[in-house]
Amino acid sequence: METPVPVRPGSPAAALAGIRLRVNGRECEVPTAPRTALLHVLRNDLELNGPKYGCGLGECGACTVLIDGVAARSCVIPVQAAIGREVTTLEGLGSRRCPGPTQQAFIDCQAAQCGYCLNGMVMTVEALLRRNPRPTEQELRNELHHNLCRCGTHVEIMQAALRAVPLRAGRSPLSEPPEAQEAQP
């Protein structure tokens, strides 16, 4: 039996009924209203700050998490919709000391300026690679099309997305064909 993730004492959710979730492989119980946005529960109650609050309207992608392996915008998903499903946040892909391959690709390419959009970029690429381990550059572009980066770091983000393909498959990026190693601006 796994130990539930504790809720911060004194949080506003403390007086509400518990909702059981499975997040990053752990069971947790969060006292919160069923219609609270999943993003707020992750950040405020579970202290998982990988997903970011950007637009709050499901449009920018900063809050992206995986629900049963599929990219989802947690700012517009009520927490009750995640009951009985596997939620994965950026923290679930790896750690600072041991980043997952998709995270490592973004680190290698230094694909950030302010970094605020990167959670969404990483999680969106991860979701694509889970269902399609060898996407084309165009498929990666299509997938990231609705993730906004206000800093204009798109070239580096595409380089990182392309690098993530071989890394996640356990191959050396150097073994990839040249056209898959460098994103075109």
Q: Which residues bind ligand FES (CB under 6 A)?
A: 53-56, 58-63, 73, 75, 112-117, 149-151, 153
Which of 32, 119 has the CB closer to ligand FES? 119
How far is it, in rounded angstroms, from Cα 176 to Cα 102? 16
CB of 43 to ligand FES, least distance (A): 11
- Helix/strand/coil for 121: helix
Question: Residue 164 or residue 166: which is nearer to ligand FES going by CB?
Answer: 164
Please state the closest distance from residue 56 (CB atom) to ligand FES, in A: 5
CA dihedral over 123, 127, 130, 134, signed as positive or negative: negative
Length of the chain: 185
Tell me the closest approach of the beta carbon of residue 126 to ligand FES, in angstroms: 16
Task: Closer to ligand FES by CB, 121 or 166: give it.
Answer: 121
Provide, rounded to whole angstroms, the least separation between the CB of residue 38 and ligand FES: 10
- Compare residues 79 and 149 and give the one whose CB is closer to ligand FES: 149
Closest approach of ligand FES to the CB of residue 124, in Å: 11
Measured from the Cβ of residue 75, the count of other Cβ atoms closer than 10 Å reads 23
The span from the CA of 183 to the CA of 137, in Å, is 8
Find the helix or strand (DSSP H, E) in which 131 lies.
helix 118-131
Residue 104 or residue 124: which is nearer to ligand FES going by CB? 124
Angle CA 49–93–153, to nearest 5:
70
